[in-house]
C-alpha cells in the first residue's frame, strides 16, 4: 500500500482507486480506446470504464490475452460493451491497420487513452528501425492519435460533448534532457535504457501539450492531458530482475496497487472536474508540475515536427 500522500483539491489522493474516482459517474453513450489494455493499469482502466457504461475498445498486441480480459470484464459486468482489436504500437504499419479497422466500424470516439508502453529494455530497434521505447511509448501513440483526430472531432461535434485524450507518462520524464534520443534514437553507442525511457515519457507530455495548444487554436471541443500513474509493480519491470526482486520485497509498503495506479487515468478520462481542463499534468488525480522542459512549448513544436517526419509514409 502507498503509505504517503494526502487528498488534494480534487478530493482524491494516492490512496484512491479507479473505482473511487469514478464513483457515481455514468459513462453510457461514451466510446473509449485504451491501448495496452491486456495487462496492468490498462486492464484496470478498461474494466472500470466498462463498469460505468463506456464502450471500451482494447488496442492490444496480444489479442488472446485481450480476449481473456474481455471475458473477465463480462463476467463482472454482463452488459458491458468491450471489443478487442490487435495493435502493436511499436509498428507503424500495425497502428495504421488498427486505425483503419476502427474507422471502418463507424464507431464514435470520445476518449483516447494512450496507455501502452515498455520500460528500459536493452537496446532494441522496432520493425521500423526506431529505438523501441521511443517507437512504442511515443511515436506509435503520436501516429494513432493523428489518425483518429478527425473521428474525435466529428464525435465531439455530433454528440456536443467534450472529447478527451489522455497520455500516460511517468515521473521518469525528469531523467530526460533536451536533444538526446530525439536526434539519435537509433544510435546504440549513445544508448542508456533509463534516459531513453525518460525521453519517451517526456515526449508523452510534450505531445499532449502541443495537442492542447492546437485544439485551443482550432477552437475544437477536445482536451489533451498527461499523467503519472504512480509507482506500481507491473510487467514493465520484466527487463530488470533485480528491481523486480526489490519490488517484491518492499513494494507493499511503497508502491501503489494496480487499482490505485489506474485511478489518475480514469479520473482524467471520465471525471466532470476535468471538463475543459487541457494541457495539464496530473499525479494522484490532482494537477501537478512537470519538469520545466516538459512545459517548453517550442520544444513541443520541435518534437511534433520531428515526429511527423518519422511517421511519414
Looking at the annotation, which residues are catalytic? 191
The SS3 call for residue 35 is strand
Q: What is d(CA 257, CA 240) in angstroms, rounded to the nearest whole number? A: 19
Q: Phi, psi at residue 41, to the nearest 5°?
A: -70, -20
Contact 35, 89 (CB under 8 A): yes
Q: Which of 37, 78, 76, 77 is nearest to 57 (CA)?
A: 37
Q: Which of 147, 105, 111 is nearest to 32 (CA)?
A: 111
Q: What is d(CA 262, CA 266) in angstroms, rounded to the nearest whole number? A: 6
Quickly tell me which residue has 487554436 as its cell: 217
Q: Other CB atoms closer than 10 Å to residue 265's CB: what's the count?
A: 27
Q: What is d(CA 199, CA 299) in angstroms, rounded to the nearest whole number? A: 12
Quickly tell me which residue has 521505447 as its cell: 133
Quickly tell me which residue has 501516429 as its cell: 143
Per-residue b or e along 101-136, where b marks 16 or more CB atoms closer than 10 Å to that residue's CB:
ebeeeeebbbbbbbbbbbbbbeebebeeebbbbbbb
Amino acid at each position: 500500500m502507498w503509505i504517503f500522500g494526502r487528498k488534494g483539491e480534487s478530493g482524491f489522493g494516492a490512496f484512491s482507486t479507479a473505482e473511487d474516482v469514478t464513483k457515481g459517474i455514468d459513462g453510457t453513450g461514451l466510446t473509449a480506446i485504451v491501448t495496452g489494455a491486456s495487462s496492468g493499469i490498462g486492464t484496470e482502466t478498461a474494466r472500470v470504464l466498462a463498469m460505468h457504461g463506456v464502450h471500451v475498445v482494447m488496442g492490444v498486441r496480444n489479442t488472446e490475452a485481450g480476449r481473456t480480459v474481455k471475458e473477465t470484464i463480462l463476467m463482472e459486468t454482463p452488459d458491458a460493451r468491450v471489443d478487442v482489436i490487435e495493435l502493436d504500437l511499436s509498428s507503424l504499419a500495425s497502428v495504421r491497420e488498427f486505425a483503419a479497422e476502427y474507422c471502418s466500424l463507424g464507431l464514435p470516439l470520445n476518449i483516447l487513452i494512450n496507455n501502452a508502453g515498455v520500460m528500459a529494455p536493452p537496446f532494441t530497434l522496432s520493425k521500423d528501425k526506431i529505438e523501441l521505447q521511443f517507437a512504442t511509448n511515443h511515436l506509435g501513440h503520436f501516429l494513432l492519435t493523428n489518425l483518429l483526430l478527425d473521428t474525435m472531432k466529428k464525435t465531439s461535434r455530433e454528440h456536443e460533448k467534450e472529447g478527451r485524450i489522455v497520455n500516460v507518462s511517468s515521473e521518469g520524464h525528469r531523467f530526460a534532457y533536451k536533444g538526446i534520443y530525439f536526434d539519435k534514437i537509433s544510435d546504440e553507442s549513445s544508448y542508456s535504457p533509463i534516459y531513453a525511457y525518460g525521453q519517451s515519457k517526456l515526449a508523452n507530455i510534450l505531445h499532449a501539450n502541443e495537442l492542447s495548444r492546437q485544439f485551443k487554436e482550432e477552437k475544437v471541443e477536445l482536451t489533451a492531458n498527461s499523467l503519472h500513474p504512480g509507482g506500481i509493480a507491473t510487467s514493465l519491470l520484466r527487463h530488470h530482475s533485480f528491481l523486480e526482486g526489490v519490488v517484491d520485497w518492499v513494494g507493499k509498503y511503497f508502491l501503489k496497487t494496480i487499482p490505485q495506479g489506474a485511478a489518475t487515468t480514469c479520473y482524467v478520462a471520465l471525471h466532470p472536474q476535468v471538463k475543459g481542463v487541457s494541457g495539464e499534468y496530473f499525479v494522484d488525480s490532482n494537477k501537478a508540475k512537470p519538469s520545466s522542459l516538459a512545459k517548453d512549448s517550442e520544444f513541443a513544436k520541435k518534437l511534433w515536427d520531428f515526429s511527423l517526419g518519422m511517421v511519414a509514409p
